A = this chain, B = another copy of it.
Amino acid sequence: MNQELFALAQQDLAALEAELLSVVDSPVDLVHKISDHLVQAGGKRLRPALYFLCARSSGGQPATMMPLATAIEMIHMATLVHDDVVDSSNTRRGRPTANSLWGNQMSVLTGDYLFAKAFALIATQVNQNMLRVLADVICAMCEGEIIQNQFIFQLDQSEQEYYARIAKKTADFIAASCELGALSAGLTEEATNGMRQYGYALGMAFQITDDILDVTASSAQIGKPAGNDLRQGIITLPVLRALTVAEERDSLRSLLEQKVVLNDEEVRQALDIVHASDGVAYAYAKVDAYLQQAKEVLPDCLKENFRETFCQVADFVNLRKC
């Protein structure tokens, strides 16, 4: 994420980096080494950034802000390291994944360690409702990933099924990050609910954009192979749309009906068909609608500078187009 965008949380985000490095300092060398690699690999820190913004939105600095933001990012890191095992990914953000460097075994265990360490960090610090929100969202993410795996190469899934899946996989966690921030700030129930809905809509837009980038961006731009999802049979919105409306939809269906990982030439052919259809434009229209919705649900009580920032974050998601 653009640093300026999070100017209101910039100091918090800098402190978070130090905190993350300190928390993963396990007495077991290899745990420390892998966790450290994950922290150093960076990332957008979108979830803690949104958490910080929400937590500071009522003007205060909640005492348990830093541990909670740290736990949120550690949980995100844990899901990424397990996702990379599940997807057998070799690179993420242009750097080698933990599984490619240390193998699946160590990556599974390090992910578990990060999950548990996140809860250990906050168990005695935040209230139990917050712990519940976090635990629930991990359940949802696992369900989302499992559903995604079940739907691989399933060409007759509905758009609703796609939205339900990305909600569990991505949007619920971003919603929870905003909700936890609002709870930390002591916002009213109505305002907390508004921030949660903002996070949800932003998260949906974010995931659809990611799914668009999979079919439009070059490998260099996204730090992983282009067409990666398509290759593995993960049917994203632009592809789902192309399967319905593309002129050569029968060819696209034939390519994917083989139900085996696509080779480079097949990926190229499939991408050409998607690009020739309105799949990408259709998906961007959905992104726009979600971002519009995100802005509309922002609670009235927000101070102007925070409202502006939340709107800018929404605009930024829209600018990730390639």
Contacts and interface: CB of A to CB of B under 8 A. Distances in A.
Interface of A: 26-28, 30-31, 79, 82, 85-86, 104-106, 108-113, 115-117, 119-120, 123-124, 128-129, 131-132, 134-136, 138-139, 141-143, 145-147, 149-150
A142 B116 contact: yes
B146 A28 contact: yes
Contacts of A149: 105-106, 109
Contacts of A110: 142, 146
A143 B82 contact: no
B120 A30 contact: no
Contacts of A108: 82, 85-86, 108, 111
Give the copy number: 2
B82 A112 contact: yes
Nearest to A88: B105
A26, A113, A142 pick with most chain B CB within 10 angstroms: A142
Contacts of A116: 115, 135-136, 138-139, 142
A119 B132 CA distance: 7
A31, A79, A123 pick with most chain B CB within 10 angstroms: A123
A123 B112 CA distance: 18
Contact of A120 (B79, B85, B135): B135
A111 B138 CA distance: 11
B129 A113 contact: no
B82 A109 contact: yes
Nearest to A144: B28
Given A115-B115, A138-B112, A26 B143 contact: yes
Contacts of A104: 85-86, 104
Contact of A109 (B28, B129, B135, B145): B145
A122 B196 CA distance: 23
B128 A113 contact: no
Contacts of A105: 85-86, 149
A31 B28 CA distance: 32
A127 to B, nearest CB: 9
A186 to B, nearest CB: 19
